[in-house]
Structures are given as C-alpha cells and as structure tokens.
Structure 1
Amino acid sequence: MKRKLVSNHYIQACLHGPLLADIDPMPLLERAAVPAELIHQPNARITEVQLANLIKAVWRSTGDEFMGLTARPCKNGVFALMMESLFQFKTLGAMLQQSIRFYNAVQDEIEFNLSCDGDLVDISATLKQPQYDPDHLLQEFILLMWQRLSCWLVNTQVPIHTTRFNYAQPDHVDEYPSMFGDHLLFDQSTARFTFSSKLLTLPLARDPIEMELFLRQSPLEILRRVGSDHSLSTQVRRQILKQGLEQPPTLEEIANRLHMTSRTLRRKLKDESASFQQIKDQVRCDMAIRLLTEESLSVAETSQLVGFTEQAAFCRAFKNWTGVSPSLYMSNQATQ
C-alpha cells in the first residue's frame, strides 16, 4: 500500500507548542523518525505515520492533548475518557452530542457546538485564544478528529458536505481535500464542517475492545482516511477479539460463523495477503503491548491473558513480533 505523504508544514506546526514551553524539539523528532533537516526544507514531505508519531511525542512531552496550543492544557487521557462515555449511546447523533457536552464541560479553551439545520448537521470548534495556534494545527486537528471519529464509530464513511475555516487560504491548501473534502471555504466567521443529518441515525458499530485498539493507535487512526472496512481479515480479527485470547476461536469455528468452509476462509484470506495465524499474532501483539504498557501487568500475567501456557514461549513470540523482549519493550516505553 502506498504511504500517504503530508507537507512539512505540519512538522513546524507540531513543534510550536513544545518550543513555547522550552522543550527541546530534537528528541521529539527522533522519536518520530523525522530527520531534523526536513524542518528547513519547504518542499519536504513526511508520512502520516511519522506525523502521528510526532504528535504523540508532543502529547507526552507537554502532557497536553492540545499540544501546547492553548492557554491552558488539556490533560492526556481526556480523549480516552470521552470515548469511554460514548458506549452508553446507540446512534451517531447521540454520541456526537455526548462528546461535545463532555468537552465543553471539562475544558474552557475551545467551544464546541453541534446544530442541525434542515438536511445538514454543523459541527464547529472555536478557539477562545487563537493566537496560541498560529498555524491552525489544533483547529484543523479538532475538526478532523470529529469527522474521523464519526466514521470510525459507525464503521462507514461520513462524507463532508462543506468545511469552513476562519482564516485565509494557506500555502499548503493542496493538503486539504484529502482531509476535509473538496468544498472548502476560507475567511469564514467560524471553523466548522457539515454533513447529512440522515447519518445521525446510524447505529454504533464498535465495541470497547475495538475502542482500546483505536486509542492505542491514535492519532494515526485520526489522520488516516477512515471508512467502512468489511474485509474478511477485519471480520476474523473481530471474531478473535470477541471470544478472547485465553481460548481463541479456531479457524474452523470462525469459518462456520462466517458461513463458509475453512478452505474457503483460508483462500479468501490469502487473496487479502493475510493468513489466520498472522491475524491472530497481530491481535496477540496489540493486546500484549496494551497490557504491558497501559495496564502495567507483569510478563507472566500478560502471557496468560494473550493465550500462552508458557512464559518462555510468549517471550519468544513477542520478540519475533516486535524485535525486542517484553522487558526491554517496557523499559524503552518507560524512558519515552
């Protein structure tokens, strides 16, 4: 798959907040595998993975999900708490209303609003002190977050009708259509995007386990174009997650649930350049990393929870997945 490239404008924009806080940007660039010399190359481009890793490094260094681009920080973890609050609701409209109520209640730096006018829904984000965000990075990221989150929650595209920006058209405007659609308006009174109100009735299509994986992969999952994923590989992954890793389903069991033979399942996975074992290993790897780093479980506990009867076998598998042992992986994460 071809990797999407983005303008080097976003490197400089990401570093604005840390520089204001007297944080050395060099370690942040190193963590994101972004060569420092690219900062001074206007035509340089980086991958969306590098950009996601740079944003994550900024979050960690500033302790601020607003990346140091507001007068007061938004503590790391607020987005995850908001996500957890959504699973009591059943439709996209109810979830969006809850997410906006949540953010307006926990911070005062950005005012969020959702309104419905006939056939269109309007989501706006107004920075109270926009001078802290001179490159409009936070403004754009917030709008993008709401649109991509909407797509992810209902597992289908939520096409943008129009996106309005409360600033002049920037030099890197060519980046915008892939993020905000083709109908762009600048120098508007507020920053907002609109989409069809018919989509508000779409049902929640995710579960808490999928949410954990989404959060662990963020902000990459926000930067990527999120759409409906009905691939067989994804269906197999969900079946494994739903049953659990301590006693994961066999290929034959999953094939039966998907109303096909195990031979057909193997063939169709091969057509997607995947295999049952690869998918199961990826699920185990993702879960192991989360248990070790976010829940601070021991190697022995993690080994059991991801389906290994012997800790030594788990350690060998983990090193094969990540290139390092579980203990070294935890040590590296602790120093970041």
Structure 2
Amino acid sequence: MAAAAAQVQDLGLPAIYLHTIAELLRERGVDDRAILTRVGLDPACLTDDDVRVSMNQAGEFVTRAVIESGEPGLGILLAGELVLPLHGPLGVAAMNSRTLGEAMSLLVRYLKLRAPHLGIFLETEGNYTVLRFTGGSELGMLQSFIMDAVLFGCIKMSLQLLGKPVDGTFVRRRGREPNYYQRFRQRIPVPVEFEAVDDAIVIPSAELAAPTRFSDEQMANISRAQCEQALQRLTEDACFAARVRRVIETSHPFPPKLARVAATLFVSERTLKRRLQEENISFQAVVDQVRLDRASELLRSTSMSLSQIADGLGYADAANFTRAFKRWTGLSPSAYRSEQANRDSAPRLAHPVSGR
C-alpha cells in the first residue's frame, strides 16, 4: 500500500484554485473581489501557481463563497473546471504518463503539492484498485466541498487522460446523499454510492493499463523532476516563517499588520513573534523579503514609476522605498532596473535581516 499522509502543518493551497472559484462566482453574478478582500486576500496574487494561500484564509473564502453564491455544490462546479494544466507540474506529469495506472501513482506521490491537507491511499480490493482519500476533522464544514472537488476532479482528470470514462469505475462517498447532488448528476460520468465507509474512487485493476492520449516521455521526465523539486521546497516550507510569508504575500491591503496575520493564523501576536524568533527571523524581515520580491518583479517586468511601486508596497513615498531597496540590494531601484533589463534573475537581500 502506498500512502501520502496529510501534514499537520499548514502548507497552504495553490492560489490558482481560489482564482478558479472566484471566476465561478463572477459567472453567477457574485462579487468575487469583495469576498476575497473581505477575507484579506489580494485578487491580483491568485493567478500565480507559485503562490500558496494559508488554509485558514482559503477556508474562510470558500465558506463565504458557498454562502453568498447560495450554491452548496460549488465543489462539483470547481471539479468541472479542473483541466490538467491547472494542477501545475503534477497535472503535466499525469497528462504525459504512459498509462492510467502511472498517472494514479503520480497522484499518490505528489498530492501534497495540490492538497496537502488530505491523505491518499492506493489499495487493492479483489479485482479493483481503490484510491482512498482521508481528511482530518479540522476541515469541518469544508469536508463536503473538498471531497466533491477532489473526487470528482480526479474523475475529470481520468476523462481527460483517456478521452472517455473508465469502464467499471465508481465513486464511494461517506454520509447521506446531499440534497444538491441530483442537480449535478448528469455532469458526473460514473456512478456514485453514498453512505459508504470511505471517500474513494474504485477502478477495475485491469483498466490501469489503459494508455493515455498525450504521453510524451521527455515531457513526463521534465515534469516529474519539477514535482520532486516542488515537493522538496514545500517540505522545507513547513516552518512557521513560511506560513507567515504565505499570509503576507497574498494579503490585501499590503502590507498587512502583525495583528491581522496573527489572527489569520489563529495565534496571538506574542506567540507569532515568539515562534518567528525561534526561527531566527522577525515579522518585519519577512515583510521586507516579500517587498523585495515584489519590487524586483515590478522593476523587471513593468514600466511602473517608482512612486506607483512604492505605493503598492505600502511606502509613504518613493524616497522611502528607494532607501529600503538600496539597503536590501546595494542598488537604487533605477540602477537595478537598468541592470536587469536583459536578465531574469531576482536579487537577494545583501544583508538579510536577523530576528529581533
């Protein structure tokens, strides 16, 4: 049995999924930007697949989205939008797998990249292979939404891989059939059994040898390597400072106050400071690193004036921003912009700020 256990740490959720939910809301006449900003999220940050949102903020956004849209089946709607490339390197690796079974093995190994709060197990039951998902009780009322999105999203993935439903496949769901399910029944190409002992996808083992439509060995190797690198980075990002950074870099307005970040992470301001100090960094240092990353990207890829960049980074004026940028990098923003005109690399802090 292969397994990928859910982590206690908040490793965040890829922001692109929240962006997709926001688009679904907009199509239904719901003000998605108002909901995002109400929970402290910056809509402009959500289209970058490298950005991850804390589970606390993601959960609050999804809860408000379900309530304000009046659509309890929002998880099924999200599943219908999950094309393979939306899953980042994992989606590309699965798309270029040789067989359905190979794609499933990748999902087991790398699910943490896309849904780190879930566990996944690959088991055998007679002539069937079972892909079983588990979620901790901390998911609360989001359990139904998340399982709808993940289980039916995986069915959508297999449909894209093979071009047709997998013969003999069905879905098992814990609990009673929800009232909204029949409205979506025609969208789901496989049977669903409710009041089951687990949340799982059950596939005839013989079907795992089915060839995929897009297999490309070279692309598969590249994307798998990217998955390994991403998994290593995510594991390294299990520290508390990384959780703080995730909140800071997706916050609206920017930069957030320490009290706002502490509340988002459900800790006191004192605890937040103490835990960062234990990792030899300060809250201001994390804010400054996010500011540097944003500033360098804007200087490289836009023609925004220094005043516009300073305003977006929360500085009173361009002079304060210029002094801070020069302290971080040893260069003025203008000099950096000129030097980076034909380069893509971002600078690092010349003298990283230590905890204080």
TM-score, reference length from structure 2: 0.38
TM-score, reference length from structure 1: 0.40
Of structures 1 and 2, the one scoring higher in RCO (CA 8 A, sep 6+) is 2
Which protein shows a greater Rg? 2
